[in-house]
Amino acid sequence: MRKNDQLDDRPRIRFWHRLHKQGLLDLPGDAPVIRFWDTLPGWRFYTCLRWVRVPLEEVRDVPEFVKYKAREIANLLPDATFTVDQLRSEKQTYDPFLIVSYADESYYVEVWEEPEFERKYI
């Protein structure tokens, strides 16, 4: 990154307007990461990824075991807030993590779409 590529403590991505990924740039979260691949001569593909935190209530398709965990914690800590940290591309969401925040502390307490980490409730 060159010196003039930094703007307001956010990295400026050169030619961003040509990439048609403006929706990802406007999301709250870390600066987007863009990965380019050269494939066939003259063809160039790229993927734009960004870690984004979203309130739990706004996330669709949350599994029941994650909702159950949030209810368990909310019963013990009524003032706790719940967010989901997820890696997003322009077409898909990856690696959702449930985060509980209470006072000045935050903890990752659950993950889904990761079969080896998921807990099953009877």
When pLDDT is cut at 50, 70 and 90, the band that residue 3 belongs to is: very low
Spatial distance between the Cα atoms of 59 and 37, rounded to a whole number of angstroms: 31
pLDDT in tens, 83-119: 999 988 777 888 899 999 999 999 999 998 776 665 5
Q: Where are the domains of the chain?
A: 3-111
